[in-house]
């Protein structure tokens, strides 16, 4: 068997902008999902996972759509990708998939997209070598949307497949989504992201409170954004200027739109600073402003995430914010390397004082996207 890997991601800035045709700025994580795979010829797909001990899941490739209700929840991600390949006319004669994930589940670091994209690159390399990364992104997202029932945008799959080491990925979702046939797609740019050169680290604070994007609240935010765009007579909130937001009569829809409009501006501001090679400490306040917007206007933060951000900034972090879809998961903090331990200690004290379990913390660098490992 050969092995492929796909990374998790953190979004430096740009939450809930992808499904509004906006801008995002993720990096890939050094934490990956590994998929050891081999072709088989009996029409069966077998999926095992080190994180799910017990008998592997075994289905006929031709039965994946018809028997979806029988597929265990965790297995719907890899099997959904297999089903999407066959739905689009790619013949899968059978395959063994053995998974091992190091991306924390439920931490808002896109473990699900890492899993889906690891399987997608396996299937491409074994059975459909003509497929481009752009095509895989579309297929992996369709598998999560249709087979799993998670209404994700393009952010997670794009980060897993397109990110490069030492860079953040500036993605213009509208331009990228419109160009499904290009080899790697248009509408994206690799932005240098080397914090170590400035004596900085990006700290991830996993609150230990898992988020679930299939529980309805994420879908509700998407619906609210669509309603806000409709109220302003535009295709998507990407097309709205800050001055137009006040024309939305409904208070909730107005605040949802305000977050998206200001978050798009924050993404472009951060990308410009990094592109110019200035000291990244200057992006810190923009990150913290993004958290306030997610907390107050988009209402997807939690007390634990707020505590992590507040404690990190008070202890000297240059900026901090929640990452991912929200309702749990992780925060990031931009910290001086020599100050990392002090920030971690302050966050742990804050959690202990609040009666919360100690968070998991770790520093990350911008890593490579999905690829064959050996």
Q: Can you spell out the DSSP letters for 71-87?
A: S-GGGHHHHHHHHHHHH
Evaluated on CA atoms 328, 333, 337, 340, the torsion sign reads negative
| CA–CA distance, 278 with 14 (Å, rounded to integer) | 20
Query: Which residues are CB-contacts of 275 (< 8 A; sequence separation ≥ 6)?
Result: 191, 192
- Ordered structural domains, the chain, with CATH: 2-192+368-372 (3.30.230.10), 195-364 (3.30.70.890)
Helix or strand holding residue 42 (H, E): none
pLDDT tens-digit profile, the chain (374 residues): 999 999 999 999 999 999 999 999 999 999 999 999 999 999 999 999 999 888 899 999 999 999 999 999 899 999 999 999 999 999 999 999 999 999 998 888 999 999 999 999 999 999 999 999 999 999 999 999 999 988 888 899 999 999 999 999 999 999 998 875 554 557 999 999 999 999 999 999 999 988 665 468 888 999 999 999 999 999 999 999 999 999 999 999 999 999 999 999 999 999 999 999 999 999 999 999 999 999 999 999 999 999 999 999 999 999 999 999 899 999 999 999 999 999 999 999 999 999 999 999 999 999 999 999 97
Say how far apart CA 364 and CA 180 lie, in whole Å. Answer: 31
Spatial distance between the Cα atoms of 118 and 160, rounded to a whole number of angstroms? 9
Q: Which residues are catalytic?
A: 156
The Cα–Cα gap between 13 and 9 comes to 12
């Amino acid at each position: 068997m050969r092995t492929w890997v796909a990374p998790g991601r953190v979004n430096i800035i740009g939450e809930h902008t992808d499904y509004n045709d906006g801008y995002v700025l993720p990096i890939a994580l050094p934490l990956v999902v590994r998929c050891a795979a081999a072709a088989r010829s009996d029409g069966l797909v077998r999926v095992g996972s080190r994180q799910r001990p017990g008998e592997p899941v075994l289905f006929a490739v031709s039965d994946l759509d018809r028997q979806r209700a029988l597929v265990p929840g965790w297995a719907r991600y890899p099997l959904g990708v297999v089903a999407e390949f066959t739905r689009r006319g790619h013949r899968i004669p059978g395959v063994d998939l053995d998974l091992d994930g190091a991306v924390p589940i439920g931490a808002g670091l896109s473990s699900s997209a890492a899993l889906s994209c690891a399987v997608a690159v396996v299937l491409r390399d074994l059975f459909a070598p003509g497929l481009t990364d752009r095509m895989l992104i579309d297929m992996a997202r369709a598998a999560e949307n249709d087979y799993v029932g998670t209404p994700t945008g393009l952010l997670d799959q794009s980060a897993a497949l397109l990110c490069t080491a030492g860079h953040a990925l500036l993605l213009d979702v509208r331009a990228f989504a419109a160009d499904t046939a290009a080899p790697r797609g248009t509408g994206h740019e690799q932005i240098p992201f080397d914090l170590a050169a400035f004596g900085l680290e990006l700290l991830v604070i996993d609150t230990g409170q898992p988020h679930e994007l299939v529980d309805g609240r994420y879908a509700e935010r998407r619906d609210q954004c669509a309603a806000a765009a409709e109220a302003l007579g535009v295709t998507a909130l990407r097309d709205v200027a800050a001055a137009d937001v006040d024309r939305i009569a409904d208070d909730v829809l107005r605040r949802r739109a305000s977050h998206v409009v200001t978050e798009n501006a924050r993404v472009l501001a951060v990308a410009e600073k990094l592109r110019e090679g200035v000291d990244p400490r200057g992006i810190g306040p923009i990150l913290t402003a993004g958290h306030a917007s997610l907390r107050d206007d988009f209402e997807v933060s939690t007390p634990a995430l707020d505590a992590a951000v507040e404690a990190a900034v008070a202890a000297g972090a240059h900026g901090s914010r929640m990452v991912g879809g929200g309702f749990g998961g992780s925060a990031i903090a931009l910290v001086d390397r020599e100050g990392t331990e002090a920030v971690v200690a302050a966050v742990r004290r804050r959690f202990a004082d609040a009666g919360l379990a100690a968070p998991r913390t770790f520093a990350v660098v911008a890593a490579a996207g999905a690829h064959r490992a050996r």
